[in-house]
């Protein structure tokens, strides 16, 4: 199966450019608010309207800290049209707390829309005070998440492919698939990284900065997205 390209949009204009360039998934995220910064619900409504059902729309909802808050966020974004909500755990390595927060997000997404799911996020560059990628697989499987994402927290630091060897990524993807979890990889990816990640067996490659004129905080360029989409289509 061809690896799909996810492009993170901060506005309805970004979303339209991502669509024009051939993104398979349009993700809503505010890059100024961190690696999983949520857009406002009004901006999210505008993104959903711009996509108009042409592609799935997903939403980053931040790093979970509070059970009630993350359940409400997941519910609100799912109700507004998110097929998946992405939840991180940057500030805790307590696996019981991560499990509690993950279950709250899954409950919220299901309450918002019966077809919405949750993707749990681990960071390859957070060795301390964050859930490990290996532990995240167990939580995602037991909590009923739809998938997992391995990302980077520091968007000025190394790319994912500089932090994790292809062999390690391949095994992590394999273990996730064994648990019937979809897998996305992100983290300052560029076009040259996409064949590497496709060879690792991932389902989705997520980009923001590589799709923008002016870097991560710039505006999405349809031409840049088109180049990345071609790289995904030809990667094996």
Distance of CA 142 to the CA centre of its chain: 20
Catalytic residue among 12, 25, 27, 29: 29
How many CB atoms lie under 10 A from the CB of residue 185?
A: 30
Calculate helix-pair angle for 12-21, 222-234, nearest 10 degrees.
40
Catalytic residue among 4, 16, 75, 86: 86
User: What does the DSSP 8-state code read for residue 200?
Assistant: T
- Beta bridge partner(s), residue 84: 58, 117
Question: Distance (Å, rounded) from C-alpha 218 to C-alpha 231?
Answer: 22
Residue 175, H or E segment: helix 166-178
Which pair of tokens denotes residue 31? 């890059």
Residue 231, H or E segment: helix 222-234
Q: How many CA atoms lie within 13 A of 164 on its CB side?
A: 28
How many CB atoms lie under 10 A from the CB of residue 169?
A: 24
Residue bearing tokens 């490659």: 205
| Residue 86 known to be catalytic | yes
Residue 165 CB contacts under 8 Å (≥ 6 apart), including other chains: none
Which residues are known to be catalytic?
29, 86
């Amino acid at each position: 199966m061809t690896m799909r390209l996810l492009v993170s949009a901060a506005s309805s204009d970004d979303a339209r450019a991502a669509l024009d360039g051939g993104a398979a998934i349009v993700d809503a995220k505010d890059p100024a608010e961190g690696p999983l910064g949520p857009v406002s619900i009004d901006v999210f409504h505008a993104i959903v309207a711009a996509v108009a059902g042409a592609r799935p729309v997903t939403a980053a909802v931040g790093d979970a800290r509070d059970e009630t808050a993350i359940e409400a966020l997941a519910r609100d974004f799912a109700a507004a049209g998110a097929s998946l909500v992405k939840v991180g755990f940057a500030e805790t390595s307590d696996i019981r707390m991560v499990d509690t927060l993950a279950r709250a997000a899954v409950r919220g997404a299901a309450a918002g829309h019966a077809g919405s799911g949750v993707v749990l996020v681990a960071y390859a560059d957070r060795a301390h005070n964050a859930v490990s990628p290996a532990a995240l697989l167990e939580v995602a499987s037991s909590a009923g998440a739809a998938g997992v994402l391995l990302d980077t927290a520091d968007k000025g630091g190394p790319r994912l492919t500089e932090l994790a060897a292809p062999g390690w990524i391949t095994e992590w993807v394999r273990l996730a698939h064994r648990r019937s979890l979809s897998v996305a990889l992100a983290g300052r990816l560029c076009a040259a990284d996409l064949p590497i990640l496709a060879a690792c067996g991932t389902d989705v490659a997520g980009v923001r900065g590589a799709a923008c004129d002016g870097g991560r905080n710039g505006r999405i360029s349809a031409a840049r997205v088109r180049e990345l989409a071609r790289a995904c289509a030809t990667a094996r």
